[in-house]
């Protein structure tokens, strides 16, 4: 038993730290956010039922029904605003297209080169031995933006920059953490296979997925996971894995699939047809808050 502890001490402590970090994230961030989202959905159902009653009066709503509908709407707006502040990705100012910029595509190309140069400058200084970047230098941008997709490309560039910066910062958060190499970045996962770029229009919460694979130790893996779940800098962790071919090896391969979430205030929360859950109305199929599949 003593020999087992000495040989696997770092791994066992790392697993324990990861479990503790995950528990704290759930208790203080994910759990409250889910409760707020559940309250928002319940408020939405109340609004839909009120609207169904309004429709049932055949265009002659009473003052009482109108007053209840206004109260329900105000309550759901407050709930939505509370959830949004917890999970929304804050787009950095430098990644936003200036008002006078006539070519968003040219702005993206210029900014991409600036971001890449800054990454190359910081990489050798990150951690005790520096961090190696992917050799191709594309950072997962396998396609060029057109005028319609330029804004989505800028969001993905901001997210990729966030992931790489998080890898650089891991040894600062955990002093003994080591990130040796970023093996791959996918700014447009699924695009090469024909998946649409960008979330479907009309949804309230929109996903912007990116992926990163890196060679690091378990402490860095925990530091990155912890950083993604911070309130005010939240990224939705949709896939995560850490694999070691040899349990005694200092490094393993970490695989992260995360999404930045943006809020469209006019987007649909659930049913887009008033009274859909009450059995009223026809057509206008409902939309879900969270859409499955890759963006």
Tell me the per-residue pLDDT of 182-208, one tens digit each, with 9 for 90 and over: 999 999 988 877 777 888 777 778 889
Please state, in angstroms and rounded to a whole number, the distance separating the CA atoms of residues 30 and 40: 15
Domain residues of the chain, as ranges? 2-87, 93-263
Burial class (CB in 10 A: 0-12, 13-18, 19+), 131: buried
Rounded to an integer, the average pLDDT of 243-267 is: 85
Examine the pLDDT at 38 and tell me if it is beyond 70: no
Please state, in angstroms and rounded to a whole number, the distance separating the CA atoms of residues 7 and 13: 12
Examine the pLDDT at 111 and tell me if it is beyond 90: yes
Whether 291 contacts 199, CB under 8 Å: yes
* Most confident among 22-31, 219-228, 284-293 (mean pLDDT): 219-228
* Most confident among 17-21, 86-90, 155-159, 189-193 (mean pLDDT): 155-159
Whether 158 contacts 165, CB under 8 Å: no
Please state, in angstroms and rounded to a whole number, the distance separating the CA atoms of residues 51 and 218: 53
pTM value is 0.68
């Amino acid at each position: 038993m003593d020999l087992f502890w000495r040989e696997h001490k770092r791994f066992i402590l790392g697993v324990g730290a990861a479990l503790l970090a995950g528990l704290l994230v759930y208790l203080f961030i994910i759990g409250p956010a889910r409760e707020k989202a559940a309250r928002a959905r319940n408020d939405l159902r109340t609004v839909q039922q009120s609207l169904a009653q309004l429709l049932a009066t055949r265009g002659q709503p009473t003052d009482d029904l109108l007053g209840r509908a206004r109260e329900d709407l105000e309550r759901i707006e407050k709930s939505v605003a509370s959830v949004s502040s917890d999970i929304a990705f804050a787009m950095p100012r430098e990644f936003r297209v200036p008002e006078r910029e006539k070519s968003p595509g040219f702005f993206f190309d210029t900014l991409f080169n600036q971001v890449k140069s800054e990454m190359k400058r910081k990489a050798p200084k990150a951690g005790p031995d520096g961090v190696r970047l992917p050799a191709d230098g594309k950072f997962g941008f396998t396609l060029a933006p057109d005028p319609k997709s330029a804004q989505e490309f800028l969001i993905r560039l901001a997210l990729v920059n966030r992931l790489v910066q998080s890898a650089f910062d891991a040894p600062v958060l955990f002093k003994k953490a080591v990130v040796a190499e970023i093996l791959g970045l996918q700014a447009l996962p699924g695009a090469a296979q024909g998946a649409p770029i960008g979330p479907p229009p009309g949804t309230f919460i929109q996903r912007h997925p990116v992926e990163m694979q890196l060679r690091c130790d378990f402490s860095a893996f925990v530091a990155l996971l912890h950083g993604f779940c911070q309130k005010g800098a939240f990224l939705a962790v949709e896939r995560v894995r850490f694999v070691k071919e040899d349990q005694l090896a200092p490094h393993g391969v970490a695989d992260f699939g995360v999404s930045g979430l943006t809020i469209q205030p006019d987007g649909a929360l659930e049913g887009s047809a008033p009274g859909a859950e009450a059995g009223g109305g026809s057509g206008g199929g409902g939309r879900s808050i969270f859409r499955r599949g890759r963006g």
